[in-house]
Amino acid sequence: MTDLLVVDNLTTRIRTSRGTVTPVDGVSLRVREGGAVGLVGESGSGKSMTAFSILRLFPTPSAWVAGGRVLFDGRDLTALPESELRAVRGREVAMVFQDPATYLDPVLTVGEQVAEAWAAHHGWRGAWARAVEALGLVGLPDPAETARRFPHELSGGMRQRVLIAQAIVCRPKLLIADEPTTALDVTIQAQILDLLRGLRARLGMALLLITHDLGVVAEMCEETAVMYAGGVVESGPTESVFARPAHPYTQGLLASAISVQQAQQITKTIEGAVPDLRDPPPGCRFHPRCPHAMPVCRAETPPVFRVAEEHAAACWLLDPAAAAVRG
């Protein structure tokens, strides 16, 4: 299979009142055509900002892509002017967001918001019919009637289905889902994940799933990338990463996920907290919390080492010299 999306050394900065931070610092990722990649990390690891950076869409005007490339279907999205990027948004790459309560416009009908995604690329003619069709596709009962409803008249799970409908109405090649189930009840979560899996198979679209929940990744994605403090520390086939985690951070995540599946507790299992991105630690960013930290970890950023076929991690422990030292 060919690569659909290649994120290469992507860096994003945000200017804040207390200086500039770099929430995405040299991230590299790859999503194959029709494939599914899970991007995992704690809150504050920069995983959501990575998703926003791909389409150059930021929650704040003070953020910008400072370096790297985003190759989609062979085109570098970071080099596209805003007008051409707009043609990609929603049509070729679409997004589903975390909280359907705040990502839907409260004063417009849900039908208009789904139709808007179609109309932005194909004009308003026939857009409503497309919207109704998409609302049916995501399993909403009586889509023609639901289209005329306002967001506050729908339940949380139904709203999330609307958000998914507005994302798939143009049949995008890639769907970026940013914590699509976090704001939902547990029972609804499973339904939404089933829906996403079904749509992926039916429409043949690729999925970049951003989550803090390793269980979701195991269930949904063939490949996994683990982010920590603005960088990808380990990536590879989900099976391989879960079976033989090479980075101490991944190991910690998996160990805590077995006992507790709550993100907050992950932080507790691994000593310490995500570092302050305004003043990141030198060398490997994980070293202050790493049980195996060595002098070199404090001094130099680790390169990416190959662990197995397609499986790589950025950790000095994988250096042949370290293996020699540890015997």
Partner 1 sequence: MSGGTSLWRYVAGRLLQAVPLLLGIIVVNFLLIALAPGDPVAVLLGEYPAPAEYVAQLRQRFGLDQPLPVRLGRYVASVLRGDLGFSFAYRLPVARLVVERLGNTLILMGTAMTLAAIAGVALGVVAARRPHSRLDSAATGLSLVGYSIPEFWLGQLLVLLFAVTLAWLPAQGIRATRETYTGLAALADLGRHLILPAAALSFRYLALIARITRAAMLEVMSQDFILAARARGADERRVLWRHGLRNAAIPVVTVIGYNFAFIVAGSALVETVFGWPGVGRLLFDAILQRDTPVLLGVLLIVSATVVVVNLLTDVAYAFLDPRVRY
Partner 2 sequence: MALVPARARPAYAAAIWDFWRRYARNRAAVVGLLLVGGLAIVAVLSPLLAPYEPTATSLRELRPPGTPGHPLGTDDLGRDILSGVIWGTRVSLAVGVTAAATAVLIGIVIGAVAGYYGGLADAALMRITELFQTIPRFVLALLVVALFGRGLEKLVLVIGLLAWPQAARLVRGQFLAQKSAAYVDAARALGLPSWRIIFGEVLPNVLAPVVVLGSLDVAQAILLEASLGFFGLGDPNLVSWGGMLNAAQAYLREAWWMSVFPGAGIALAVIGFNLIGDGLNDAINPRLGE
**Encoded tokens for 294:** 């060595």
Closest-CA residue to 132 (of 105, 162, 155): 162
Nearer to partner 2, 60 or 83 (CB): 60
Residues 56-75 that bind partner 1 (CB under 8 A): 57, 59-60
Q: Which stretch binds partner 1 (CB under 8 A): 14-22, 115-123, 189-197, 204-212?
A: 115-123
Least Cβ distance, residue 24 to partner 1 (angstroms): 17
Q: Taking CB under 8 A as the rule, which mask of x and - marks residues 130-159 in contact with partner 1?
A: --------------------x-xx------
Residues 255-284 that bind partner 1 (CB under 8 A): none
Asked whether position 2 contacts partner 2 by CB under 8 A, the answer is no
Least Cβ distance, residue 59 to partner 2 (angstroms): 11
Answer for the pair 160, 180: CB distance below 8 angstroms, yes or no.
yes
Instruction: Give the contacts of 47 (CB within 8 A, at least 6 positions apart).
Output: 39, 40, 41, 210, 227
* Residue 17 binding partner per list partner 1, partner 2, none, with a CB distance cut-off of 5 to 8 Å that depends on partner kind: partner 2
Answer for the pair 248, 317: CB distance below 8 angstroms, yes or no.
yes
Report d(CA 287, CA 275) in Å as an integer: 10
CB atoms within 10 A of CB 19: 9
Q: Is 71 helix (H, G, I), strand (E, B) or coil?
A: strand
CB atoms within 10 A of CB 170: 19
The DSSP 8-state label assigned to residue 314 in this structure reads -
Least Cβ distance, residue 152 to partner 2 (angstroms): 25
* Residue 113 binding partner per list partner 1, partner 2, none, with a CB distance cut-off of 5 to 8 Å that depends on partner kind: partner 1
Q: For residue 131, give the amino acid letter.
A: A
Q: Which stretch binds partner 1 (CB under 8 A): 64-72, 101-109, 211-219, 235-243?
A: 101-109
* Residue 30 binding partner per list partner 1, partner 2, none, with a CB distance cut-off of 5 to 8 Å that depends on partner kind: none
Q: How far is CA 292 from CA 146, 170, 231, 251, 288, in A?
A: 55, 48, 19, 12, 10
Residues 34-63 that bind partner 2 (CB under 8 A): 60, 62
Asked whether position 20 contacts partner 2 by CB under 8 A, the answer is no
Residues 222-241 that bind partner 2 (CB under 8 A): none
Report d(CA 325, CA 304) in Å as an integer: 19
Asked whether position 102 contacts partner 1 by CB under 8 A, the answer is yes
Report d(CA 161, CA 164) in Å as an integer: 5
Closest-CA residue to 98 (of 7, 28, 182): 182
Q: Which stretch binds partner 1 (CB under 8 A): 95-103, 125-133, 244-252, 279-287?
A: 95-103
Least Cβ distance, residue 141 to partner 1 (angstroms): 18
Q: At what angle do helices 127-137 and 110-122 cross, to 10 degrees?
A: 120
Least Cβ distance, residue 17 to partner 2 (angstroms): 5
Chain positions contacting partner 2, by CB under 8 A: 17, 60, 62
Chain positions contacting partner 1, by CB under 8 A: 55, 57, 59-60, 86-91, 94-95, 97, 99, 102-108, 113, 116-117, 120-121, 150, 152-153, 163, 166-167
